[in-house]
Amino acid sequence: MNAIPAPILMMENVTVDFDGFKALTDVSLNLTPGDLRILIGPNGAGKSTLCDTIIGRVRPTSGKIIFKDQVITNLPEQEIVRRGICRKFQTPGVLPTLTVFENLLVAGRKNRAWYRSFTTKTPPAETARAEEILTQIGLEDRRNIIAADLAHGEKQWLEIGMVVATDADLLLLDEPTAGMGPTDTQRTAQLILSLLGRHAVLVIDHDMSFVEALNGYVTVLHQGQILAEGTVAEIRADAQVTAVYLGRAEDAEPAHA
């Protein structure tokens, strides 16, 4: 009935304290189902820590995280994933000795009970979905290669594919274009845009050309606090953001500007 759908994820006043160092201070954030959110901020701003907190790798010192109307703040990691949040790590986390296709199958298992693994048969629906994702991430011709042999950019895509394969409603993508050239960066942007609707996506990145290609709602994090929120244009125009971040980022990364 509402014009604005209820948020899929709400972070309420989350603070993370690493032995006296506040990596996040009083952060509140709402994410909309099926929608894109871009999180930017200088190195050490706390972007990865924010993801870590959502998926239970880091526990907040105070504050609450609510996913689909349920508090998930202290659930075990695998339970949080099973509720529908999956995360891509900053350093590619593919499984190196498994083939590309096996990586997708491991990620895409519907029944995750260990005692259901003593079979050589994969349910046809899972195989079909893995094939679909393989095409979506553009790695059809790499299907039976072990993941260790992929190029760096291909590993990033594979990990995005794995996260997608879990069919989570919320995907957290930590620097999916790190180490990519301009062409691959644009491809990655297209890939992420193709995921929206079916998944809500939170993307962390440094690269402004990538952020512009995505053209979504942006949250700027600085020293563990939210500095600004708005569209890409609004963020670009924000004097404070330019001072702490944009100017520096573009100086530091002229190749992507």
Partner 1 sequence: MTFQKKYIFAAAAILFGALAPFIINPYELSLLGRFLALSILAMGIMLTWGEAGILSLGQGVFFGLGGYALAMHLKLEGLNLANGDMPDFMVWSGVSALPGFWYPFANPYFSLACVVIVPGAFAAAFSWLVFRRRVGGVYFALITQALALAFSTLLISQQAYTGGFNGLTDYSTMFGIDITTEYAARYIYWITFLFVVAVYFFLRWLLASRYGVMLRATRDGENRVRFLGHDPVPYKVVAFGIAGALAGIGGALFTLHAGVVSPALVGVVPSIEMVVWVAVGGRNILWGAIAGTLLVNFAKDQISSAFPSLWLYGLGALFILAVSFLPAGIAGLFRPGSGEERVMRRILSRRKLSTAE
Ligand X SMILES: Nc1ncnc2c1ncn2[C@@H]1O[C@H](COP(=O)(O)OP(=O)(O)OP(=O)(O)O)[C@@H](O)[C@H]1O
Contact with partner 1 (CB under 8 A) among 28, 44, 112, 233: 112
- How many of the chain's residues bind partner 1 (CB under 8 A)? 32
Closest distance of CB 175 from Mg ion, Å: 6
Q: Which residue number, 107 or 249, has a Cβ lying nearer to partner 1?
A: 107
Please list every residue from 40 through 99 that binds partner 1, using CB under 8 A.
Answer: 55, 57, 77-78, 81-82, 86-87, 89, 93-98
CB 202 within 8 A of CB 171: yes
Residue 106, binding choice from ligand X, Mg ion, partner 1, none, Cβ under 5 to 8 Å by partner class: partner 1
Contact with partner 1 (CB under 8 A) among 117, 144, 239, 255: 117
The CA-atom distances, in angstroms, between 107 and each of 85, 117, 144, 155, 237 are: 13, 14, 16, 14, 40
Return the range that interacts with Mg ion (CB under 5 A); candidates 10-18, 41-49, 60-68, 238-246.
41-49
| CA–CA separation, 44 and 25 (whole Å) | 13
- How many of the chain's residues bind ligand X (CB under 6 A)? 12
Contact with ligand X (CB under 6 A) among 8, 9, 36, 41: 41
| Of 246, 250, 251, residue with least CA distance to 233 | 246
Contact with Mg ion (CB under 5 A) among 7, 48, 206, 224: 48
| CA–CA separation, 164 and 133 (whole Å) | 8
Closest distance of CB 229 from ligand X, Å: 16
Binding mask 83-102 for ligand X (x = CB under 6 A): -------x------------
Other CB atoms within a 10 A radius of the CB of residue 161 amount to: 26
Rounded-to-10 torsion of CA 162, 53, 173, 171:
60
Structure tokens at 146: 């072990």
Residue 86, binding choice from partner 1, Mg ion, ligand X, none, Cβ under 5 to 8 Å by partner class: partner 1
Q: Does 18 bind ligand X (CB under 6 A)?
A: yes
| CA–CA separation, 62 and 26 (whole Å) | 8
CB 104 within 8 A of CB 88: no
3-state secondary structure of 9: strand
Residue 95, binding choice from ligand X, partner 1, Mg ion, none, Cβ under 5 to 8 Å by partner class: partner 1
Helices (H) and strands (E) in the chain, counts: 10, 10
Return the range that interacts with ligand X (CB under 6 A); candidates 43-51, 61-69, 71-79, 186-194.
43-51
Helices 182-195 and 152-165, axial angle in degrees (round to 10): 0
| CA–CA separation, 40 and 241 (whole Å) | 10
Phi/psi at 34 (nearest 5 deg)?
A: 70, 5
Task: Please report, as ranges, the residues that interact with Mg ion according to CB under 5 A.
Answer: 48, 90
**Contact positions toward partner 1, by CB under 8 A?**
55, 57, 77-78, 81-82, 86-87, 89, 93-98, 102, 105-107, 109, 112, 114-115, 117-120, 122, 146, 148, 162, 166
